[in-house]
Amino acid sequence: MAFGVVTLVLSYVVQPKYPESEKLSAYECGSEPFSDARMPFPVRYYIFAMLFVIFDIEVIFLYPWAVVYGQIGLFGLVEMLVFIALFLVAYVYAWRKGALEWD
């Protein structure tokens, strides 16, 4: 953190500053920028983000189980088989619904 701030400040002191409107405009291969760049983007991204949140939480549940697995034996194994089966139901549902397609 300190490294970042110190380097930025030092660099700010030594660098040249010659602002021009042409230079400050957004890069668009040399042509004049048109329209706002903050356009709406496809809903696909949201679907993947939500799938990620759901599945990632399930993965986090696997971590404590994996740590104590050596001590809980058969009970832990069966519990986790049930858990992963539920995980698979959600996964197969998302797949069959076409949520994992990108086109």
Query: According to the binding rule CB under 8 A, does residue 70 interact with other proteins?
Result: yes
Q: How many Å apart are CA 53 and CA 9, to the nearest integer?
A: 37
Query: According to the binding rule CB under 8 A, does residue 90 interact with other proteins?
Result: no
H and E: helices and strands count for the chain? 4, 0
C-beta neighbour count of 97 within 10 angstroms: 10
Query: According to the binding rule CB under 8 A, does residue 73 interact with other proteins?
Result: yes
* Residue 68 structure tokens: 């104590």
Query: According to the binding rule CB under 8 A, does residue 13 interact with other proteins?
Result: no
What residue has token string 């660098």? 15
Chain contacts with other proteins (rule: CB under 8 A) = 1, 3-5, 7-8, 10-12, 14-18, 21, 23-29, 33, 36-39, 41, 44-45, 48-49, 51-52, 55-56, 59-60, 62-63, 66-70, 73-74, 77, 80-81, 84, 87-88, 91, 95, 100-103
